[in-house]
Structure 1
Amino acid sequence: MQRTALSVLMVLAATPALALDWAGVPAKEVVLFYPGQSSLEWVLSGDHGGSGKVKSGKACKECHLGEEKDMGATLVSGSKNEPAVIPAKPAAITAGVKVAQEGGKLHVRLEFKEGAQPNSKMDPDFATKVTLMLDDGKLPEAAQAGCWGTCHEDAAKMPAGGGADRTKYLNRTRAKPGRQGAGDELVAAADLEKMQASGQLMEYWQARLKPGAAAQAAGGTIFDKRTEVKPSPVTAEASLAGDTWTVTLSRPLAASAPFKAIEAGKTYNVGFAIHAGHTARRFHYVSLEHSLMLDKGDADLIAVKK
């Protein structure tokens, strides 16, 4: 009897997120669009017609929610902010996003069709990558601009990136932010330590996919640079049925630093990105910022208990 009971517990503990009953979980439609070279600095500059509204504190989605497909069409065509057009690349991807809690974990499920993606040959290992970025309210730039809080003019493949291999970063870690990006000069080490200790960083979860193979998970942080944490508490599962991907990213609600505690009653800021067609770096689709809460609330996404 003890052996049988133990076997049952092991099976239950190993139940994959894809096996959850998602039928009763409401889905939110999230449109991810192609952003080109539209950096945070561009958003704040006079080249962006809404820069004054952003500087006054308006969030991106206050003006652009519902315009994602049109913006993606403009940018992917090369008529604006894109000098390296990928011919025939779709302008946007629409994902149905569901979030749930089960077994002390948060599960985030995206279902989407990526369309007829040309092979960019940038990433030979993974055809598709799905990423979630999460902030727990400590980064005002995340609440206002989502992923754009980490996207800069001088990152690799961006206008002022040159030959640099610079990744995403937070401006608050830099001594001299400017229109062309903030470069590599950091603020004082003591200030960096205080920021990190107080959780002023962005967390990311990623599923790396190729048809016919199990999803590979990665997780880490964005602070003065993007850093993958190993081992990571993030897990990923994926299935491809016809032309539809179903991808679930999961992580314990309680996780060791630098990962954030995810608790009821708090509002979290999340953004989504999808690399499709073997792309890498900035050649992805991104969402506007969205809010997330556990159990109940007025957030865009509510993680229900299963």
Structure 2
Amino acid sequence: MKRTALTALMVFAATPALALDWGSVPGKEIVLFYPGQSSLEWVLSGEHGGAPKVKNGKACKECHLGEEKDMGATLVSGSKNEPAPIPAKPAFIPATVKVAQEGGKLLVRLDFKEGAQPDSKMDADFATKVTMMLDDGKLPEAAQAGCWGTCHEDAAKMPAGGAGERTKYLNRTRAKPGRQGAGDELVAAAELEKMQASGQVMEYWQARLKPGAAAVAAGGFIFDKRAEAKPSPVTAEATQSGDGWSVTLSRPLAASAPFKTIEVGKTYNLGFAIHAGHTARRFHYVSLEHTLVLDKGDADLVAVKK
């Protein structure tokens, strides 16, 4: 083994979560697909054939689970909702997702091969980023549409984003939502404070990856904008073999607000994203919405104690 590879493995293996016996934890395959410029507003528009069903409360997964690979192939090609396709970019990434509890923490592991990714040169610092969004039932849009609850027509690099730097946001924070996005006019400050106090925020965990270096963890929230929390209780660990990654995100089940308390008896809504090939912003792969419970219950992912 080359010294550089050995050094990288030593750096990665020095982290505690890798001691968990992941082989005894059941995994679920979740396909992340390339979404192009398919915003929440587009999903709700007449251009999307399923818009009436979504407006009547149907979740994206109810119609599109199992279609992720085909949707990714259409969108990554540039034939629909993508004016700037990246040549030779893979259409989707299948990931095996495992969840567990250990030492009072929730651990989420994604194993995936990102394939032959062209270098987009958008993010010079990190080749790959792995993100999980988490809602505790306070955001109906997360239960219905996962990450799309924060993805808007006027965000940076989206159709109505122009040359701006607007990040993801929740529509409920805006005074004038519309087909082209909701702009920057917020609802009254008192209403924003009330929403935040009641936990109406989307939490995110992220691992930022560079081959040969330890994973960099980040955590934060999406409310009126995306904001990274510093310090953050989120940790990240990763190992790499060829084009394959094993990435573990974790944080304590109990955390100070606005991070959410993760507890038995509640169902959490999750969305996953992977940026690959040095991409940034919307040029990522995303999952449909999925659910999580602790210990036991009816959900896509069940985090058992180890």
Q: Answer yes or no: is 1:128 the counterpart of 2:128.
A: yes
Q: Equivalents in 1 of 2:251, 2:294: separation in Å?
A: 14
Q: Count matched residues.
A: 293
Q: Equivalents in 2 of 1:50, 1:100: separation in Å?
A: 35
Q: Equivalents in 2 of 1:23, 1:296: separation in Å?
A: 19
Structure 2 counterparts to residues 82-231 of structure 1, below 5 A: 82-231=82-231
Helix, strand or coil: the match of 1:29? strand
Name the counterpart of 1:21.
Answer: 21
Amino acid paired to 1:46 = G
Name the counterpart of 1:52.
Answer: 52
Amino acid paired to 2:259 = F
Deviation at 1:105, TM superposition (A): 0.2
Amino acid paired to 1:92 = F
Name the counterpart of 1:3.
Answer: none
Range 180-189 or range 238-247, more displaced = 238-247
TM-score for the superposition, normalised by structure 2: 0.95
Deviation at 1:111, TM superposition (A): 0.1
Q: Equivalents in 2 of 1:277, 1:55: separation in Å?
A: 35
Q: Equivalents in 1 of 2:140, 2:77: separation in Å?
A: 32
Deviation at 1:173, TM superposition (A): 0.1
Helix, strand or coil: the match of 2:190? helix
Amino acid paired to 2:158 = M
Amino acid paired to 2:93 = I
Deviation at 1:163, TM superposition (A): 1.1
Amino acid paired to 1:56 = N
Name the counterpart of 1:11.
Answer: none
Q: Equivalents in 1 of 2:212, 2:256: separation in Å?
A: 32
- Compared with structure 1, are the counterparts of its residues 83 and 301 closer, same or farther at alpha carbon in structure 2 (3 Å cutoff)? same
Q: Answer yes or no: is 1:256 the counterpart of 2:256.
A: yes
Structure 1 residue ranges, 4+ long, deviating more than 6 angstroms after superposition: none
Amino acid paired to 1:23 = G
Q: Equivalents in 1 of 2:37, 2:22: separation in Å?
A: 36
- Compared with structure 1, are the counterparts of its residues 102 and 180 closer, same or farther at alpha carbon in structure 2 (3 Å cutoff)? same
- Structure 2 residues not aligned, in runs of 5+: 1-13
Amino acid paired to 2:213 = A
Amino acid paired to 1:271 = G
What CA deviation, in whole Å up to 9, does each residue of 1:55-95 have, x standing for no partner?
00000000000000000000000000000010000000000
Helix, strand or coil: the match of 2:133? strand
Amino acid paired to 1:289 = E
TM-score for the superposition, normalised by structure 1: 0.95
Alignment root-mean-square deviation, CA:
0.7
Helix, strand or coil: the match of 1:23? helix
Name the counterpart of 2:295.
Answer: 295
Amino acid paired to 1:180 = Q
Helix, strand or coil: the match of 1:218? strand
Q: Equivalents in 2 of 1:163, 1:244: separation in Å?
A: 35
Name the counterpart of 2:233.
Answer: 233
Q: Equivalents in 1 of 2:16, 2:99: separation in Å?
A: 15
What CA deviation, in whole Å up to 9, does each residue of 1:102-158 have, x standing for no partner?
000000000000000000000000000000000000000000000000000000000
What CA deviation, in whole Å up to 9, does each residue of 1:184-228 have, x standing for no partner?
000000000000000000000000001000000000000000000
- Compared with structure 1, are the counterparts of its residues 15 and 163 closer, same or farther at alpha carbon in structure 2 (3 Å cutoff)? closer
Deviation at 1:24, TM superposition (A): 1.1
Contact 2:15 2:237 in 1 (8 A): no
Contact 2:116 2:243 in 1 (8 A): no
- Structure 1 residues not aligned, in runs of 5+: 1-13
Deviation at 1:242, TM superposition (A): 2.5
Q: Percent identity?
A: 87
Q: Equivalents in 2 of 1:202, 1:92: separation in Å?
A: 24
Helix, strand or coil: the match of 2:122? coil
Q: Equivalents in 2 of 1:250, 1:217: separation in Å?
A: 9
Helix, strand or coil: the match of 2:274? strand
Amino acid paired to 1:251 = R
